[in-house]
Structure 1
Amino acid sequence: MGVLIKAAYAAPAVGLAALGLPLLIYLPDYYATVVGLPLGLVGMAFLVARLADIAIDPMVGVLIDRTRSRYGRFRLWLALGTPLLMLSVHGLFMPPSGAGFSYLAVCLAGTYAAWSLCFVSHLGWGGTLSRDYGGRNAIFAWCQVLFLVGGLAVTALPLLPPLRIAPQATLPAMGWFVLTSFPLGVAAALLLVPERDGGPRPMPAWRDYGRLLGQGAVARLLAADFLSSTAVYAAGGVFFFYYGTFHGLDRMRTAALLFAVKAGAMVGAPVWGWLGNRLEKHRAMALGFSGMALMCLVVHLLPWSGLTAGLIILGLFGTFLSADPVLVRSMMADLGDERRLTTGIDHMGTLAALLSVSDKLAAAIGPALALTALSMAGFDTPAPAPQQSGIALLTLGAAAIWIPMALNITAAALVWMHRLPADRRRAMGPDLTPLPGDGR
């Protein structure tokens, strides 16, 4: 598979990243400070919208797996979901004056529902582009690199001089970036990347989905992904609060740290793809989760002050963040092949949906619990650290450092038990030999 095809497939990830970062970090802050909603209501809006949306992902996965179309199953639903996502993004990022809790919750629900169509179809499509153990790592590494390009671009927007002068214009600028980059990326993928037809497929029976969830390897991988993602989202939801309070950084310097995290993750993406081939995917993933736990300690306990030291430490932390998106997705696609060979049923769309559910549950629970806990502890957003209560500081440290560290250690233990290494996967049958053009 050529570089152009991999890049074209990964192109929609630029817009998805540009959307995901504001949803995690900038939107809660914007609706709390610029729109003026109470912090607790903002966290609750994200929780309600995410929970209402989570049921959609399995439905999307089932719909994709049961689709029979001359345009392909994944490409068709990606094309249909794109205009729906753009409409929702416009409403969410350009709220009218007086927007309240209901407006935020509805716009979030619409955005997440359309995201389901696009994300699940795009992720499942990637799982079918190669049947080579290492080739899949390369595909998802490309996807992660371009995802981080989008993240870096949207992170850099607040650093531009016009937005420094008018920070309230930052979120609408991010919205316009999404509205431009995502449709262009989808167009490139649809025009340049074929969807491989695996031949006639039996229609999955409803009982097959229950059996899929009962498969131990799938359940362990989903649990590990959920725990680590919850750690990332919880820490991300209090990112500005933590670095402003414990390290005394203003918003501009904290935004620079966020940029360093994304830059480090971009460097790490091809590294984890390579390590997945050299160490086996599950060993490399356990190393990645353990590294994130260790970096939590480094960030919090290593004495450092000033922006330069922070950029180096956060950049190193970022390199570990790419392990999950590259390796867990590749491992889940391998499990999809195993399932197809042992049962005759192709569940690639459903497995992609389950990963999306895991991510959305983590994104709902992590920030909501972190923000709600801060509110209950009496954390005062404008007040400097000396004016915060002891319980507020303890809660902030737990949400940003200690709980994420424990969750990543648990995820490392779970993924270490994964039992589909390269030699077993290649021995499963001739159906898993590389397709023409496959490669690393």
Structure 2
Amino acid sequence: MKKSAYIGWAIGSFTSAALVSAVGLLHLRFMTDSLGLAIALAGMLTVAAKIYDAMTDPLMGYIGDRTRTRFGQFRPYLLGGGLLAGLSMILLFNVPGGLQGDSMWLYVGFTLLLYSTAYTMFRIPYLAIGRAITDDFHARSRLMTFSVYGSSLGSFAATSAAPFLLARLGSDRAGHGHVALVLGIAIALGGIAAFLLLKERHPVEAETKPTGSLGATWAALWSNKPFLCLMGFKLILFSGLAVHITAIPYYTRHVLHVTDTALGTIFAVQTAMMVISQVLWVRMASRFGRRNALVSAGSLCAIAYTVWALIPAGSPFPLIYIACALSGTASGGVFLGLYTVLTDTMDYSRRIQGENRAGMLAGVFVMVEKGTSAFGIFVFSTIMSWTGFVSATGAGAEEQPASVKTGIMVTVSLVPALAAVVSSIIMLRYRLPETAKDEVEPQASTLQPVGVQSN
């Protein structure tokens, strides 16, 4: 496989991770602490956009499965989606100063829908094209490590570099706009690069178009038991993760009372551990099977989230770094496992059910991701509204009630820890019949960490 495929795959992962991480981490707080929107309204707008986003994911996959162009089946969407994603990033955080009242929340709602459309247009084809890069069962694990590297870099840009820059600029409304401009340009360039570097292995004419209706395709997906098990794992785990991620910027500002420099440091440590841990997770998958490695990663998530509850607000360092390191290591295993197992279920669908439904499978995969994100934001914003959160303009309220701080602690630690335990139990039921030997009783294989060649 060409090196350009590895690079393009990493860049594609960077593009989607930078977009979704920046919006997921900063936009809700931007609406409540800089635009002055009530947290219930801000949460409602975000959740509505996420629901729309999730509903369009299978449709995008259905369209992608039936697309045939001279540029490829999925590649054109990488270019169009990447450019639109960059534009939406800029518009989200650059709200015209003259907007007030209804005009402001209408603008916010429109830009959220634009962002959702762009992310779907890019993310679904990107995941679907992964099956077309290589057929080799073990080579995919090596390829997917590049996805983790790319997403780690994208997450670093959005969740570490951006908060560092915000701290320098004052974390106010104007500062968010400047940071979004930088990120938007990077995201657009990433979409262009992914389009140029990623090539589908076979001519699109060689792949027969699926013939079933949308309803028949849904029925076929419901009969794909390994895929459903994977989605159950992701649904529960990512619901908890969404609550955790949404709570963190509020946790650092209103519980720890530290600047956004600390917020950036938290995600820098997590990102570093995601990258470093790839060697460990690839070896675990090779020795114990992908399913078992993914269960181990989910279990480590539960431990990591529990540690967050033990951090003393008065002197959070260095215990907070331990929590970050554990969270990053666990996330590295989760994302590597999810991507590799997803491509396995795509092959299972093609072998057993007779049609290539990579686009629809990717659509449902991301739909679950979007749905859990909406659920997480809904849970967090509802709890904050119940506990009496005080919205503000500029850089946020000086002090929040004690009830709000308690709610933040519950959402940053206890809820995601419980979700991680339940999801790990669900994943124990995963079986891939035609490769059960590889998944449950792995032999010594050629699977090796990135950069290590087999003799």
Whole-angstrom distance in 2 between the partners of 1:325 and 1:288: 9
Tell me the CA shift for residue 232 of structure 1: 1.1
Is 1:193 matched up with 2:198? yes
Tell me whether 209-218 or 226-235 shows the greater mean CA deviation.
Answer: 209-218
* Equivalent residue, structure 1, for 2:411: 399
Whole-angstrom distance in 1 between the partners of 2:295 and 2:257: 33
Q: Name the SS of the counterpart of 2:388 in structure 1.
A: coil
CA 1:65–1:426 in 2, change beyond 3 Å: closer, same or farther? farther
Tell me the CA shift for residue 101 of structure 1: 1.7
CA 1:30–1:298 in 2, change beyond 3 Å: closer, same or farther? same
Mapping of 1:39-118 within 5 angstroms? Answer: 39-97=39-97, 98=99, 100-118=104-122
Answer whether contact 2:29 2:250 (CA < 8 A) is retained: no
Answer whether contact 2:77 2:125 (CA < 8 A) is retained: yes
Tell me the CA shift for residue 11 of structure 1: 0.8
- From 110, 114, 125, the equivalent of 1:121 is 125
Whole-angstrom distance in 2 between the partners of 1:13 and 1:403: 28
- What's the CA shift string for 1:301-338, capped at 9, x where partnerless? 26683433322331232111122222112112111111
CA 1:273–1:352 in 2, change beyond 3 Å: closer, same or farther? farther
Is 1:131 matched up with 2:140? no
Whole-angstrom distance in 1 between the partners of 2:398 and 2:85: 37
* Equivalent residue, structure 1, for 2:14: 14
Tell me the CA shift for residue 94 of structure 1: 1.2
Whole-angstrom distance in 1 between the partners of 2:37 and 2:258: 24
Is 1:175 matched up with 2:180? yes
Whole-angstrom distance in 1 between the partners of 2:87 and 2:252: 34
Tell me the CA shift for residue 162 of structure 1: 7.8
Mapping of 1:264-283 within 5 angstroms? Answer: 264-283=273-292
CA 1:173–1:325 in 2, change beyond 3 Å: closer, same or farther? farther
Answer whether contact 1:292 1:317 (CA < 8 A) is retained: yes
CA 1:370–1:274 in 2, change beyond 3 Å: closer, same or farther? same
Answer whether contact 1:40 1:372 (CA < 8 A) is retained: yes
Whole-angstrom distance in 2 between the partners of 1:300 and 1:9: 36
- From 287, 291, 303, the equivalent of 2:300 is 291
* Equivalent residue, structure 2, for 1:352: 362
Mapping of 1:271-420 within 5 angstroms? Answer: 271-301=280-310, 305-380=315-390, 382=397, 384=399, 387-389=401-403, 392-420=404-432
Answer whether contact 1:22 1:171 (CA < 8 A) is retained: no
CA 1:186–1:179 in 2, change beyond 3 Å: closer, same or farther? same
AA of the residue aligned to 1:372: T
Whole-angstrom distance in 2 between the partners of 1:396 and 1:306: 15
Whole-angstrom distance in 1 between the partners of 2:40 and 2:25: 15
CA 1:64–1:181 in 2, change beyond 3 Å: closer, same or farther? same
Is 1:158 matched up with 2:144? no
Is 1:203 matched up with 2:217? no
Answer whether contact 1:225 1:359 (CA < 8 A) is retained: yes
Q: Name the SS of the counterpart of 2:318 in structure 1.
A: helix
Whole-angstrom distance in 2 between the partners of 1:301 and 1:426: 39
Whole-angstrom distance in 1 between the partners of 2:438 and 2:265: 44
Q: Name the SS of the counterpart of 1:55 in structure 2.
A: helix
CA 1:9–1:254 in 2, change beyond 3 Å: closer, same or farther? closer
Answer whether contact 2:5 2:133 (CA < 8 A) is retained: no
AA of the residue aligned to 1:201: T
AA of the residue aligned to 1:308: P
TM-score where L is the length of structure 1: 0.89
Identity over the aligned pairs, expressed in percent? 21
* Equivalent residue, structure 1, for 2:228: 219
Q: Name the SS of the counterpart of 2:124 in structure 1.
A: helix
**What are the ranges of 5 or more consecutive residues in structure 2 without an aligned counterpart?**
392-396, 440-446, 448-452
Whole-angstrom distance in 1 between the partners of 2:217 and 2:18: 36
Whole-angstrom distance in 2 between the partners of 1:425 and 1:106: 49
**What are the ranges of 5 or more consecutive residues in structure 1 without an aligned counterpart?**
428-433
Answer whether contact 2:291 2:428 (CA < 8 A) is retained: yes
AA of the residue aligned to 2:189: L
CA 1:369–1:201 in 2, change beyond 3 Å: closer, same or farther? same
AA of the residue aligned to 2:218: Y
Tell me the CA shift for residue 399 of structure 1: 1.5
Whole-angstrom distance in 2 between the partners of 1:307 and 1:48: 37
Alignment length (residue pairs): 428
- What's the CA shift string for 1:64-102, capped at 9, x where partnerless? 111222321111222232333233223212111226222
Task: Say what the alpha-carbon RMSD is for the aligned residues.
Answer: 2.6
AA of the residue aligned to 1:190: F
- What's the CA shift string for 1:277-317, capped at 9, x where partnerless? 22211100000011000111122126683433322331232
- What's the CA shift string for 1:124-176, capped at 9, x where partnerless? 11132122222112222101211111221232233248834464344223322
* Equivalent residue, structure 1, for 2:147: 143
- What's the CA shift string for 1:222-246, capped at 9, x where partnerless? 1111111111111111112334455
* Equivalent residue, structure 2, for 1:431: none
Tell me whether 297-306 or 402-411 shows the greater mean CA deviation.
Answer: 297-306
Q: Name the SS of the counterpart of 2:230 in structure 1.
A: helix
Whole-angstrom distance in 2 between the partners of 1:395 and 1:214: 40
Whole-angstrom distance in 2 between the partners of 1:162 and 1:404: 28
CA 1:200–1:33 in 2, change beyond 3 Å: closer, same or farther? closer
Tell me the CA shift for residue 38 of structure 1: 1.1
Q: Name the SS of the counterpart of 2:306 in structure 1.
A: helix
Tell me whether 273-282 or 49-58 shows the greater mean CA deviation.
Answer: 273-282
Whole-angstrom distance in 2 between the partners of 1:23 and 1:83: 16
Tell me the CA shift for residue 355 of structure 1: 1.0
